[in-house]
A and B are shown apart, each in its own frame.
Chain A
Amino acid sequence: MSIARDQQLASTFVTLADTLVADFDVLDFLGLLTERAVDLLAVDAAGVILSDQRGGWRPAAGSSEHAHLVEVFSAQTRQGPCLDCVRGGVVVASADLTDDSGRWPEFAPAAVAAGFRAACAVPMRLRDDVIGALTLLSTAPGAIDEPSVTLGQALADVATIGILQQRAIRHEAIVFEQLQAALHHRTVVEQAKGVLAQVAGLGMHESYTALREYARANQRRLSAVASEVATGVLAPSALLDAPSTGSGSTESTR
């Protein structure tokens, strides 16, 4: 592992640890985690799905909110490496999705059509349960290398700890409360993205970035900012006019 990657890794864990304060935002945390996963693991996209605890799965965060990626992350809640991963609790990978349309007749062609060729999903495990998965996608074919998978598992474990807000010892109830709240906040964020998209003619990814940049610049929770935008408490102009101060962690190379 290169020195640059070591430094990146150290900085990622410090940043993530910083996020795990008392009043942190699960969605913000997972968004940051997927972005860092892309940088660290030499993949092109990363996403997290979470259990809806009714027996289904829902997309919770992605390294970008571009429509094609969101579509892939939605599709994989129905079929694909991610779903196989959460069901079996093990890492599931495809070195070339064009060879796997027999295995995943809907997901594989959809992912390839969206520009992805290789995928790897690592489980977010909590004792005997799997509460979600981190999926890594590459635009080039070829197995995602072993060190990246190991590191991906470490990030997935951090994500699990984050969702539990370090209170894993308490009760199973906490997991239910936290996961449902995170999924609820995801809905609120989508509503707020729609407001900004309509007001400013932005794409959904740009709308998301505006929400997050404002939240970070003002040290607010992403979900609180989104809620205020969707309910009209916070005027869209407040997020759109201000020049992005940029916290340095959100540059996307894609």
Chain B
Amino acid sequence: MQFLKRNIPVLIAFVMGIAMVCQYYIPSQASQDFGSDMNIWTEIIFAFALLIGVQSLIHNHTNKIRRKQVGYGFSWAVIISMIAMTIAGLIGGGVDNTKGMYFWMFQYLQVPMQATVFSILCFYIATAAYRAFRAKTPEATMLLIAAAIAMLGRVPVGTELTDWIPLGTFWANLRMEIMTDWLLNIPNTAGFRAVMFGVGLGIISTSLRIIFGIERTYMGGGD
């Protein structure tokens, strides 16, 4: 049992990990075909997993309704919507059929609702920015100044403020749009790249731990 549950998955992870690393360095047709076959397998597994996901969703919400948990009305909304979308899709076809009911529901119900949730981000950004820009420490003050310059340098009213500084002189560096470009291209890019190096190395390290079976938590088996 231990062999099936622990050793076989580690062996599969090792073999497939090494195979995919090799595939990255071999551009031949056979290697490319192998890579696309693996992608197809991933899609097939996903299709089966989606059934498990739907089962989990239905189970969870029917339980909530049965127990009359707080907000169980939303569970009704989920189940009714899911059934309605499924029936609409089976009868009138998917999104491709622009005259079908599914397309209509997708285009005029789901898309606007998603857009509404996305637009809430605007208010959240305002509150988050308010908190971030409180100049409590020297670092926060620097952040506030940099953000103010970056914002002003990106809008016409900001660039108008320093429009009177002549171009081609040393003082042109103080023009809002030039300061903004410098901030974004030099310190900001340098910071981004430093984090990217760390992320890249972190990904390699985690991949190696998984390929060599050192990290096994992801398969539910602890270390």
**Same assembly:** no
